[in-house]
Structure 1
Amino acid sequence: MSRSARHPERGTAAVELAGLIPILLLAALVALQFGIVGWTTLSAGWAARDAARAATLGKDPAQAARGALPGNLSAESITGGATGDAQRYTVQVHIPSLILIDLGSVSRTVEMPDIK
Structure 2
Amino acid sequence: MPSVFEQLGALISSIFHTFEAALGSVIAVFQSILTTIFHLIGTMFAMVGTAIKGLAETFEGLIKFFLSNIVVIGALVGAFFLYTAYQQRRGRSITAKPAPPRKN
Rg (Cα) greater in structure: 2
Which protein is richer in strand relative to its size?
A: 1
The one of the two structures with greater contact order (alpha-carbon pairs below 8 A, sep at least 6) is 1
